[in-house]
A and B are shown apart, each in its own frame.
Chain A
Amino acid sequence: MSCHDHGSVDIESDETIALVGCPNVGKSVVFNALAERYVDVSNYPGTTVDVTEAAFEGAKLTDTPGVYGVSSFDEEERITRDIVLDADLAINVVDATRLDRDLFLTLQLLDMGIPTVVALNMMDEADADGTDVDVEALESALGVPVVPTVAIDGTGIDRLRERLPEATAPESTPIERWFADLPEDIDATRAEQTLLVEEDEQTAARVTDGEIVADGGALTFVETGQREDVYTHRRRRVEDVVADAVARRDRDSSWAERLSDYMLNPLTGTPIALAALAAIYYLIGDLVAQRLVDFMEVTVFGTYYNPAVELFVSGLLPNADWAKPVEFVLLNDNLGLLTITVQYLVGVLLPLVVAFYLVISVMEDAGVLPRLAVLTDRGLNRIGLNGRAIVPMIVGVGCVTMAVITTRMVGSRRERLISTALLGLAIPCSAQLGIIMGLLAGLGVIWWFGYVGVLLAVFGVAGLFLDRALPGESTALVTELPRLRIPRPGNILRKTYNRTKMFLREAIPLFAVTALVISVLDYVGGLGLLERGLTPVTALIGLPQEFGRVLVLGLIRRDFAAAGMTDLALGPAEMFVGLVVITLFVPCILSMTMILKERDAKSALAMWLGSWVVAFGVGGLLAVIL
């Protein structure tokens, strides 16, 4: 595996500095304070984890994902491990209020022999928290420079920069007692030896080309259970350092702790969570997805941009036969490359993406997501997910496309598949929901409850089915609850900007190609053919042939399908069946492109076909019952 090829980043430098630390210690704030120019976010090759890089005093500074130790427990840890193994030195950011937790990673870096400077961050919170850290004692206990910082207001950053050349690692550390057990002929650096005695299988594969790894992945030269001995020994050293350098004063519980208690108690936490959801729905689902997007589509694009582009382009093209298909592909009313495609990307997607990343960044920064996961863990366990899957589900009601991206945070591959499939199938997005709510309101409130009931039933049954059908077991919730804090605007804006930029960089080419293919298909009459081909299935659910047109629109965008329903003259039961079918029906083209990008082609196809089957299965059943 190439560890030097980090996507599109092209900072030419021989020296690399890794910024390493536990989650929520202010690592990215330190990173941004140090970075000089060219901050670039990219996916680490072969993964969905974002890695940020920047130039720093002639070296390349890499911000690694937050981890509690260098190992291989999850994707973040594997990435951090690879970056650390290739780094020339490390800046280890630790939270002064959580030294007992953070020093494990510090001592591990030193055991690995990585030249390190420790940034002792959040000194202000430590003070408020009643924690006194003796910086000199810590420095002498660790044997490397320790610089107290309050990264959020820039305190200590200059000193950190000054002391970086002093980065060092102790000549020898107690880890060496285990090195003697390694085979003599092994060609491994000190860092690799450390990971080897900790039973890191991927490091073993890396240094031996897989030769010494026995069947089943066990290391032949390391005793089983040795990792635990090494970890336990390191924990003893952490406790010794903490005993030397940290003193705690008694203090009253803070507002954050009291609020955290309220959030974790289901009696008070549920109303808090519901209120937060309502606020999020209002912001993403109503303010942005309805009002702002409406304004962009109707006024900005419908009145100004599209007519102007049409006039300009058709004026440019000659009145020749060959120009007709070109004009169609560029300007057609369904998905023209220069008109409607741009409208979707800029008028629909961009506002949603920005709003969504704002909300997620606020929730991340405030520390509420893990608490929401605790509240919903039990319910989600039943459908093969754990509490962390609540985030994609909430976001999905805003916009399924965006939600597909957040499935990155739900754990194993199995859980990502289940949550993505459920999102594509049973979660209506706000654009569609708005129109559907309008239509159902015309039918009466009983139909609205029926609609919600059917969707919840499908969601539950599909979840139970996937949980049973997919091999493996869901992973249990193990999550740290970071302290609650008031979100910092600078942090949020920076995250939102970086993420939006990266998302658009990936989504725009994908979407443009998809639009091109659909337009060509439309021009050669493929869509019309598809519509006629749908006659048997529309008959199955007892709806007229025109419903085929609605479905074809639904392939492109879900709210188009919902809007198409308003033109059909249908009875209440027929309308109800139609609305359920278009909700369960395939995700919109943007979501599909995103599913394709985040999952593999086989799963994406299975989900796409699966939603046809479920939509018409449930629709047919309802048609018989009603």
Chain B
Amino acid sequence: MSEMLADTDPGDAVVLESVPDDDVRARLLRLGFLDGAVECRHRLRKGPIVLRRNGTELALGADLAREIEVTSGESKR
């Protein structure tokens, strides 16, 4: 059962499974954010979510986070 990126809590490691928007998917892919587990660093209430992978931090708007499906990645803690 997959959940949405918007529901991920800070500290969780998740794998981005499906990104509906073609361009956003290609951009995430280029940056390596679809290669494996990414860490959720921050989530602002009804606002953007900040992800981190290998030191690179990326902010995604709430509308995007609501349509990206994730599964739980191995915990990094």
**What is A's interface to B at a CB cutoff of 8 Å?**
68-69, 71, 73, 97-98, 100-101, 104, 129, 227-228, 231-232, 235, 238-239, 260-261, 264-266, 370, 373-375, 377-378, 381, 386-387, 476-481
Are A68 and B47 touching (Cβ within 8 A)?
A: no
> CB distance B50 to A481 under 8 Å?
yes
Residue of B nearest to A386 (CB): B61
- Assess the B44–A478 pair: CB atoms within 8 A: no
Docked complex Cα distance between A212 and B55 (Å) = 42
Q: Name the one of A228, A374, A480 contacting B48, with C-beta atoms under 8 angstroms.
A: A374
Contacts A264-B50, A266-B44, A378-B44: A387 and B31 contacting too (C-beta < 8 A)? no
Q: Does B45 touch A at the CB level, under 8 Å? A: yes
* Residues of the B chain whose Cβ atoms lie less than 8 Å from the Cβ of A266: 44-45, 47
* Interface pair A478/B59, CB less than 8 Å apart: yes
A239 (CB) vs chain B CBs: closest residue: B35
Interface centre among A100, A227, A239, A387 (most CB of B within 10 A): A100
Residue B15 at the chain A interface, CB threshold 8 Å: no
Closest B residue to A379 by CB, please name it. Answer: B47
Complex A-B, nearest 5 residue pairs according to Cβ-Cβ distance, in ascending order: A477-B61, A476-B61, A378-B47, A481-B57, A476-B64
Which of chain B's residues have a CB closer than 8 A to the CB of A264? 41-42, 44, 50
Least CB distance from A342 to B in Å reads 44
- Asked if A378 and B59 sit within 8 Å, CB to CB, the answer is no
Known A-B contacts A264-B42, A477-B61; A100 and B56 likewise in contact (beta carbons under 8 Å) = yes
CB nearest to A264 among chain B residues: B42
A64 CB to closest chain B CB (Å) equals 16
- Measured CB to CB, the residues of B under 8 A from A are 23-27, 29-32, 34-35, 41-42, 44-48, 50, 53-64
Check A101–B31 contact: CB distance below 8 A.
yes
- Residues in B with CB closer than 8 Å to A69 are 30
B63 to chain A, nearest CB (A): 5
| 14 CB-based A-B contacts, threshold 8 Å | A100-B55, A101-B54, A104-B31, A232-B29, A235-B30, A235-B34, A370-B59, A373-B59, A378-B48, A476-B63, A478-B24, A478-B60, A478-B64, A480-B58
Q: Is the CB of B61 within 8 A of A478?
A: yes
* Cα(A378)–Cα(B61), bound, Å: 8
Cα-based distance from A216 to B27 in the complex (angstroms): 22
Residues from chain A with a CB closer than 8 A to the CB of B60 are: 476-478
Closest residue of B by beta carbon distance from A100: B54
Q: In the complex, A374 Cα to B23 Cα: how many Å?
A: 20
Task: Report the minimum CB–CB distance from B35 to chain A (whole Å).
Answer: 6
Chain A residues contacting B32 (CB-CB under 8 Å) are 100-101, 104, 235, 238-239
Complex alpha-carbon distance, A357 and B7, angstroms = 39
Known: A68-B31, A101-B56, A239-B35. A377 touches B61 (CB 8 A): yes
* Whole-angstrom distance between the Cβ of A238 and the nearest chain B Cβ: 7
Q: Are A375 and B44 in contact (CB under 8 A)?
A: yes
Q: Say whether B47 contacts A374, CB under 8 Å.
A: yes
